[in-house]
Chains A and B, each alone.
Chain A
Amino acid sequence: EIVLTQSPGTLSLSPGERATLSCRASQSVSSNYLVWYQQKPGQAPRLLIYGASSRATGIPDRFSGSGSGTDFTLTISRLEPEDSAVYYCQQYGSSRFTFGPGTKVDIK
């Protein structure tokens, strides 16, 4: 079973700054199978990035994804106050899905 590790656990940044979130897999993951979600308190998760680098419908272009193999990155180029949330990566393998533990992004 592939295990996903996310770092840092919490990121505290100011509006306009750049956020870099890491997702590391215990084994190689196909880029097609790596996904990022955003979850705000009291809300269901929202699809951000699929296929490691493709933005979902309606997602602002300040969100971007990259990476391959075991190392993937979600970048928020210019933080907005509404980007305060927990971000999860997810992978698919052997007909099942697993999530990473999440990175909390706080906007100062």
Chain B
Amino acid sequence: EVQLVDSGGGLIQPGGSLRLSCAASGFSVSTTYMNWVRQAPGKGLEWVSVIYLGGTTYYADSVKGRFTISRDNSQNTVDLQMNSLTAEDTAVYYCARGGGFGKYYFDYWGQGTLVTVSS
């Protein structure tokens, strides 16, 4: 059974850093692309970042230069390192599995982890 478990959220001061982790089971993160998607309180979904099979990464303009996505095939995890956090980064962060090569959708999602940026 495919499962994604998101962790690492919490309360952090503006300007601080946080590292989120997504633990996958039931499949290998090295076999498909993986994403982070966030949702600010009461707002819609915002795609944040993707890491493709070959390791290529892309980011939303709102996080480019501050966030870094990475993958650990041996641990079967995908992480999101978040630096220089601001109140606008407050959101539930979801890890989402890409459907596979040539399949441009997210078929499994983690339960989300809440990041609150506040002094």
Contacts and interface: CB of A to CB of B under 8 A. Distances in A.
Interface in B5-53: 35, 37, 44-47, 50, 52
Interface of B: 35, 37, 44-47, 50, 52, 56, 58, 60, 94, 99, 102-107, 109-112
Contact of B106 (A47, A96, A102): A47
Question: How big is the A interface, by class?
Answer: 20 to 34
Contact of B47 (A50, A97, A101): A97
Interface in A67-108: 86, 88, 90, 92, 95-102
A35 B105 CA distance: 6
17 contacts: A35-B105, A44-B110, A44-B111, A45-B45, A45-B106, A46-B109, A47-B107, A50-B105, A90-B45, A95-B50, A95-B56, A96-B60, A97-B104, A99-B45, A99-B46, A99-B47, A102-B44
Nearest to B49: A96
B113 to A, nearest CB: 11
B98 to A, nearest CB: 9
A67 B46 CA distance: 23
Question: What's the dominant secondary structure at chain B's contact region?
Answer: strand
Interface of A: 32-33, 35, 37, 39, 44-47, 50, 56, 86, 88, 90, 92, 95-102
Given A44-B110, A44-B112, A50 B103 contact: yes
Contacts of B102: 32
Contacts of B44: 86, 88, 99-102
